[in-house]
Amino acid sequence: MRNMASSASSRGIAAIVGVGPNLGLSIARKFAHEGYTVAILARDLGRLSRFAEEIAREEMAQVFAIRIDCSDSKSVREAFEGVLSLGYVEVLVYNAAHHPPFSSAPTSFLHLPLQSFEKSLDVSSLGAFLCAQHVLPGMVERGKGTILFTGCSASLNGIAGYSELCCGKFALRALSQCLAREFQPQGVHVAHVIIDGVIGPPRGTSTTASSSQRGSVNMDPDAVAQSYWQLHVQDKNAWTQEMDLRSSSSVFY
């Protein structure tokens, strides 16, 4: 974290937890583009620092890289002490997850290690619980704020071989509904975003392959990030609690 004494935007901080090279990075870039001071959080501080420098340079924004391990309550507490030292958090996007990609072979329940199951629950749901507890007091005090949780198709349906992912994401969805019922009357918009597809790199990047090369249609993270922004700026008289996103090329079964 650099320039901790620098003045943060009067709009508050947008804290993006779980920033990788696709969706998390696009969401952070979008909020920076809209004038927010952005805190990006993930475990790999080296990569995160490169992301922060990239966004700050492209968007002429203040971006702070902060390491976090969402499965460790001490790490979450220390990370959010850093975030809150920048100012109050107006937006929290929880995008963290611990699971094998759908492209990998499923794991039979009988061979699923306890540690792996616990880790997925910790990252998908416990981490979200901890992060939300750190930012909600400030949001309630000001009567405004946005919390957006990233879910997936496994948030809705059990999938054979993906017990750890489904259970963690089911719990995250329940948490989002509970927080919405409790805190939306106090001015805090809580929404759950179901990503029903695979997030790829942004369109036009050198790593973006054609649909035929990929074997499936990846979702553009910049387009998805735009939906997150729209959730944040929604009129409070018509707030969305859950949004289901998929590519127009997706096949329904």
Go through the domains of the chain in sequence order and give each one's CATH number. Answer: 13-100+107-245 (3.40.50.720)
pLDDT digits (tens, 9 = 90+) for 118-169: 999 999 999 999 999 999 999 999 999 999 999 999 999 999 999 999 999 9
pLDDT-derived band at 205 (thresholds 50, 70, 90) equals low
Whole-number Cα distances in Å, 7 to 10, 66, 198, 236: 9, 17, 37, 29
pLDDT-derived band at 212 (thresholds 50, 70, 90) equals very low
Cβ atoms of 232 and 183 within 8 Å: the answer is: no
CA distance 51 to 152: 24
So what's the pLDDT on residue 99? Answer: 62
pLDDT-derived band at 174 (thresholds 50, 70, 90) equals very high
Q: What percent of the chain has pLDDT over 70?
A: 87
Query: Residue 45 pLDDT > 80, yes or no?
Result: yes
Going by C-beta distance under 8 Å and a sequence separation of 6 or more, which residues neighbour residue 188?
Answer: 136, 139, 140, 144, 145, 146, 147, 179
Cβ atoms of 231 and 191 within 8 Å: the answer is: yes
pLDDT digits (tens, 9 = 90+) for 222-252: 999 999 999 999 999 999 999 999 988 765 4
Closest CA to 176 of 165, 184, 186, 187: 184
Q: What percent of the chain has pLDDT over 90?
A: 77
On whether the pTM is more than 0.85, the answer is yes
CA distance 69 to 204: 32
pLDDT-derived band at 185 (thresholds 50, 70, 90) equals very high
Top pLDDT among 200 and 25 is at 25
So what's the pLDDT on residue 106? Answer: 87
pLDDT-derived band at 215 (thresholds 50, 70, 90) equals very low
pLDDT digits (tens, 9 = 90+) for 92-125: 999 998 765 555 678 899 999 999 899 999 999 9
Long-range contact list for 47-52, CB < 8 A, 24+ apart?
47/21, 48/19, 51/19, 51/21, 51/25
So what's the pLDDT on residue 250? Answer: 63
Distance between the two ends of the chain, CA-based, in angstroms?
Answer: 46
